[in-house]
Structure 1
């Protein structure tokens, strides 16, 4: 069972970590259990909050549908990582908060749909890097490894869906 104290300490440490967006994709970086938890929760919070915004502002039905799936997924991941039935949102660092603010400032319509999908692609790429970095860490916990393996598959599927949505919206 996931140790609640480690998960909560990881969440608290999230603000002090280097944002994933600042880690070059080409560099191989490992993530400790607390970093994995904190960064997964922070990325998930951004994905969920931007998806809630998309439910209100998106115009394309497929974008709204993806947003609905993303909210459910991020809620479930946060529940598993925190072992809480209704986990609070993780604090966002400056980079993640800026993404949310940009989408909040984008009016409803096709431009919002494209911006939301692009933000989701970037966020999912970061989350994928965090999962892989955790799986590359030799000091990982078995329960965290199982979560990261499942999250990695889901993230890869979502990236495929998002890239197809991006092509659809560009047409």
Structure 2
């Protein structure tokens, strides 16, 4: 077992996922809220990453709770994209370089290290998604429909964060 490779891979995933946060803070920092277009684009981008990494987890994860979470996440991100785009089968949003790097880092993992890296990545992605929802809800000039979506998404994301923390403790 190459422990150094596992540690570097997991650390790389955490660093790449964490690097997504300053961009959100910058988007919020100038106006203190996200516009409807920013909200939709950022939610779909983060959701695409969450869905693609979850599809990978269905194939590679060893832990059954990890696989179960991945299935939940795929269904949730599919539904979220359908609601935000008002399309039955929306195509995935192309990943930007930062999100693509996170996916590529996860693809390099295997075995129990994959499970841990996937859960760590999902924790970071869900924190990103939570910031996006809150950034939009902080906007007082928002559409009622999208506000309702963001409120429901925020609640679901908070639940997923709790689930992910429990799985992470189990895998430790």
- Does TM-score exceed 0.5, indicating one fold? yes
Does residue 68 (structure 1) correspond to residue 107 (structure 2)? The answer is: no
The corresponding residue for 1:168 is 170
Report the equivalent of 1:113.
115
Alignment equivalent of 2:93, drawn from 65, 90, 114: 90
Deviation at 1:21, TM superposition (A): 2.2
Aligned residues: 151
**Residue 168 of structure 2 corresponds to residue 157 of structure 1:** no
Do 1:50 and 1:116's aligned partners in 2 also have CA atoms closer than 8 Å? yes
Report the alpha carbon displacement of residue 22 of structure 1 after superposing the two structures with TM.
2.1
- Deviations 1:30-49 (Å, cap 9, x if unpaired)? 11000000000001000000
Any unmatched runs of 5+ in structure 1?
A: 1-18
Question: Which structure's residues are more often helix, by fraction?
Answer: 2
CA contact 1:131–1:151 (8 Å) conserved in 2: yes
Alpha-carbon offset, residue 61 of structure 1: 0.3
For the 8 Å contact 1:20–1:130, the answer to whether it is kept is no
TM-score by length of 2: 0.84
For 1:138, the equivalent position in structure 2 comes to: 140
